[in-house]
Chain A
Amino acid sequence: MAEWLRTFRQGIAIENPLTVLMIGLCATLAVSTLVQGALFMGLAVVFVLTMSNIIIAVFRSVIPHEVRIPVFIVVIASFVTIVDLTMHAFLPEIYQFLGIWIPLIVVNCLILGRAEAFAYHNRVSLAIADGLGMGIGYWLVIVALAMIRELLGTGRIVMFERTLIALPAGYAPPGLVLLFPGAFIIFGLMIAASRWLGERTERRKERC
Chain B
Amino acid sequence: MAKSLRLVIAVVVTCVVAATGLALAYGATKDRIADQERRAEQESLAAVLPEADSFEPVAEDVLAAAQDAAGDADCSAIYEALDSSGALIGWGLRVSGRGYGGPINVVLGLDSTGKVTGVTILSMSETPGLGTKVQSEPWFLEQFTELPAAFATEDVRALDSISGSTKSSRGVRAAVEGAGRVYAEVLQARAGGEQ
Mutual binders A and B: yes
- Least Cβ–Cβ distance between A57 and chain B, in angstroms: 15
Per-residue A-contact encoding for B100-112, CB less than 8 Å = 1, 0 else = 0010000000000
Complex contact A81–B22 (CB within 8 A): yes
B153-169 CB contacts (< 8 Å) to partner A: 164
Chain A residue nearest to B35 (CB atoms) is A89
Chain A residue nearest to B32 (CB atoms) is A89
Interface assignment of B193: CB less than 8 Å from any CB of chain A? no
Chain B, interface size: which category? 20 to 34
Complex contact B129–A71 (CB within 8 A): no
- Least Cβ–Cβ distance between A95 and chain B, in angstroms: 9
Interface assignment of B195: CB less than 8 Å from any CB of chain A? no
- Least Cβ–Cβ distance between B58 and chain A, in angstroms: 26
Interface assignment of B21: CB less than 8 Å from any CB of chain A? yes
Complex contact A96–B123 (CB within 8 A): yes
Interface assignment of B130: CB less than 8 Å from any CB of chain A? yes
A82-131 CB contacts (< 8 Å) to partner B: 82, 85-86, 88-90, 92, 96-97, 99-100
If A71-B11, A89-B32, A179-B127 are given as contacts, then 15 extra A-B residue pairs at C-beta distance below 8 Å, sorted by A number, are A67-B11, A71-B10, A74-B11, A74-B14, A74-B15, A75-B18, A81-B22, A82-B21, A85-B29, A85-B33, A89-B36, A96-B123, A175-B130, A178-B127, A178-B130
Per-residue B-contact encoding for A51-63, CB less than 8 Å = 1, 0 else = 0000000000011
A129-188 CB contacts (< 8 Å) to partner B: 150, 153-154, 173, 175, 178-179
Chain B residue nearest to A72 (CB atoms) is B14
Residues of B within 8 A of A37 (CB): 128
Cα distance A167–B125 in the bound complex, in angstroms: 26
Interface assignment of B139: CB less than 8 Å from any CB of chain A? no
Residues of A within 8 A of B15 (CB): 74
Chain B residue nearest to A92 (CB atoms) is B36
> How many A-B contacts at CB < 8 Å in the complex?
70
* Pairs A-B, 7 closest by C-beta atoms: A89-B32, A89-B29, A78-B18, A85-B29, A178-B129, A33-B128, A82-B25
Complex contact B10–A81 (CB within 8 A): no
Cα distance A166–B17 in the bound complex, in angstroms: 49
Instruction: Count chain A residues whose beta carbon lies closer than 8 angstroms to a beta carbon of B.
Output: 33
Residues of B within 8 A of A153 (CB): 129
Given the contacts A89-B32, A90-B32, A175 and B21 also touching, CB distance less than 8 Å: no
Cα distance A175–B123 in the bound complex, in angstroms: 22
- Least Cβ–Cβ distance between B10 and chain A, in angstroms: 5
Cα distance A150–B128 in the bound complex, in angstroms: 9
- Least Cβ–Cβ distance between A168 and chain B, in angstroms: 18
Residues of A within 8 A of B87 (CB): none
Given the contacts A78-B22, A92-B36, A179 and B14 also touching, CB distance less than 8 Å: no
Residues of B within 8 A of A154 (CB): 128-129
Complex contact A97–B128 (CB within 8 A): yes
Cα distance A18–B11 in the bound complex, in angstroms: 31
Contact of A173 among B21, B123, B129 (CB under 8 A): B129
